[in-house]
Amino acid sequence: IPYATKPFLDDIAICRPKTKYSNEEVKPRLRRFIVEYIKNLDEVLTNLKRVELTVYREKL
């Protein structure tokens, strides 16, 4: 999913949507660009699980 990620060996950055959709709300207080970001995140995590990769939280 190259349009949604920027992989770098041991790091993956989830890209935010390219637009904020004019702050359109899909439900009260829920903006469309947030929904699109969550969809990208879900797709990335689903693919990571499918290929059995291990994900750790960010290093402190």
Each domain of the chain, given as residue ranges in start order, spans 5-50
Helices then strands, counting H and E runs in the chain, come out as 1, 4
For the CA atoms of the chain, what is the radius of gyration? 14
Terminal Cα distance for the chain, rounded: 27
State the average pLDDT for the chain.
82
Q: What is the pLDDT of residues 6-29, one digit of tens each?
A: 666 677 778 888 888 898 999 999
Say how many CA atoms lie within 13 Å of 56 toward its Cβ: 5
pLDDT at 12: 76
How far is Cα 9 from Cα 35, in angstroms, rounded to an integer? 27
Question: Span 32-43, mean pLDDT?
Answer: 92
The pTM (predicted TM-score) of the whole model is 0.70
pLDDT at 8: 61
- Contact at 8 Å (CB) between 5 and 14? yes
